[in-house]
Amino acid sequence: MRKRTIEDYVELVYDLQKGKKRVHTNDIASSLSINPASVTEIFQKLNAEGYVSYKKYSGIKLTDKGKNIALRIKKKHNTLKEFLILLGIDSKIAENDACEMEHILHPSTMDTIIKFVEVIKKCEVTPFWLERLKGYVRSGKLSKCPPEIYELCQNFQKIKD
Amino acid sequence: MRKRTIEDYVELVYDLQKGKKRVHTNDIASSLSINPASVTEIFQKLNAEGYVSYKKYSGIKLTDKGKNIALRIKKKHNTLKEFLILLGIDSKIAENDACEMEHILHPSTMDTIIKFVEVIKKCEVTPFWLERLKGYVRSGKLSKCPPEIYELCQNFQKIKD
DNA sequence: TATATAATTTAGGCATACCTAAAAATTAAT
DNA sequence: ATTAATTTTTAGGTATGCCTAAATTATATA
C-alpha cells in the first residue's frame, strides 16, 4: 500500500471518533492492522502539527483544524464514490478507488467531477448515454445511438455555431 | 510526492528509450531531478526484477517483460488523460492526474472508463449532457435540460421497464 | 596515446514508516 | 485496596528511497 498521509489518519480519526470522546491507539491500530506502538508515534506527529490534542495514555481528539480537514476530505471522498457508482462501478470498488483518488486529484478536476455528479443527479431520468455505457460494460456490446437523440444533439450544436 | 513505483520507472524508461539504444543514469536523473547515484540503485533493482537488462557503465534497455508493462501503463495513462480532457479538464492537469490515477484504479474501474471514452468518441456530435457540464464548469450556471431531451430519455426508460 | 573531463558506481548517511520487546501507566477483578 | 490484566509508551531495530563524497570507468581532446 502507498504510504499513509496525515489526511488518511485525520479522516480515520474522524470516523472512529463518532460516538466517543477520544480515540485510542488501539482503535487505530486494530483498524489499520498496525502496531499500537506505531500509532503512538502517529499521535505525537498529529499532535505536533495541530490536528489533534493528545494526552499520554488517554488518546486523542480532533482539533477544529483537524475536523475541518477531515470534513473536506470526506466530502471529496463521497463525491468521488458517488461519481464512480454513477458510472456503474461496484460500490465496494468505488469506495476503495475513491479513497485513493481523494488525495491526488487536482482541485479543478475535483470541481469538474463535483459538477458532473450534480448535473447527472439533477436529471429526473437516467441520461441516455449512461444507459448505453452501462449496457456496454455489462454485455461488451455497444448499442446504436438512436437517431432521435443524434438529431437533437446535432440541432443543438447547429444553434451554438 | 508519493513514492515512485517500479511502474513509474518502467514507463519513464520506455519514453526515454525512444530513438536510442540504451537509457543512461543521467537521463533518468535529470528527468526526475534526482541524484545519478540513486538511479544506479534503481537500475540494479529493475534489473534484478527482470524489467531491464543492465550492464554497468552502459545504461539499461527494457526487456520484453518491461516493455509489456510500459505499454500496459501507457495505455491506461492515455485513456485516463483522454477521459479527463473529455470532461473539459485542462490538458496539463489531465496529464498530471492521469499519471497518478493510472497506478491506483481497480481494473474494473479502468474498464468502465475505457468504455466511457469509447462511447463518447463514437458519437459524431458532442453529447448534450457534456455541453451542459462544460457550460456549468465554465460559468457556474447549469442550463436547463431541454424538454425534448428529457422526453426522449423518459420514453426510452419506459420501453425498458 | 596520454591526459583531462564527464559519467557512473560504491560506500556510507539520513529520514521515515513501520516493527518488536520491554517498561510504565491505567483499568478491572477479587 | 491489592493484584492481575490490559493498554500505552519507550527504546531500539529494519527496510527503503533518497542523499553526498569519493572512487572508478568511459570518453573526448591535445
Can you tell me the distance from the alpha carbon of B15 to that of B24, in angstroms, rounded to the nearest whole number? 13
Q: Name the DSSP class of A23.
A: B
Give me the CATH code for the B6-62 domain, please.
Answer: 1.10.10.10
Residue-level pLDDT, tens digit, chain A, 161 residues? 889 999 999 999 999 999 899 999 999 999 999 999 999 999 999 999 999 999 999 999 999 999 999 999 999 999 999 999 999 999 999 999 999 999 999 999 999 999 999 999 988 888 888 989 999 999 999 988 777 777 776 666 666 55
Contact between the CB of B35 and strand D at under 7 Å: yes
Pick from A116, A149, A154: which is nearest to B152 by CB? A149
CA neighbor of A3 nearest in space, from B76, B103, B1: B1
The C-alpha atoms of residue A19 and residue B24 are separated, in whole angstroms, by 57
Q: Give the per-residue pLDDT at A145.
A: 77
What does the block give as the cell for A119?
448535473
* Amino acid making up residue A10: V
Cell readout for B105 is 484504479
Distance of CA B128 to the CA centre of its chain: 26
**Domain with residues B76-154, CATH architecture:** Orthogonal Bundle (1.10)
Residues of chain B with CATH 1.10.10.10: 6-62
Residues with CB under 7 A from strand C: A 3-4, 33-35, 37-38, 41-42, 45, 57-58; B 24-26, 36-37, 39-41, 43-44, 54, 56-57, 59
* Closest in B97, B122, B125 to A154, CB measured: B125
Q: Give me the residues paired with residue A53 across strands.
A: A61
- Measured between alpha carbons, how far is B156 from B161 in angstroms, rounded to an integer? 9
DSSP character at residue B3: P
Identify all chain A residues contacting B133, using CB atoms and an 8 Å cutoff. 112, 115-116, 119
The x, y and z cell numbers of residue A156, run together, are: 443543438
A12 touches chain B (CB under 8 A): no
* Residue A64, all three cell numbers: 477544529
> What whole-number distance in Å separates Cα of residue A61 and Cα of residue B158?
52
Q: What is the pLDDT of residue A114?
A: 98
Cβ atoms < 10 Å from Cβ of B139: 9
Written as one string, the DSSP assignment of B13-65 is HHHHHTTSS-B-HHHHHHHHT--HHHHHHHHHHHHHTTSEEE-TTS-EEE-HH
B34 nearest nt, CA–C1': D18
* B residues 68-127 lying closer than 8 A (beta carbon) to A: 84, 87-90, 93-94, 96-97, 100-101, 104-106, 108-109, 111-113, 115-116, 118-120, 122-127
- In tens digits, what is the pLDDT along chain B, a chain of 161 residues? 889 999 999 999 999 999 899 999 999 999 999 999 999 999 999 999 999 999 999 999 999 999 999 999 999 999 999 999 999 999 999 999 999 999 999 999 999 999 999 999 988 888 888 989 999 999 999 988 777 777 776 666 666 55
Report domain A74-122's class: mainly alpha
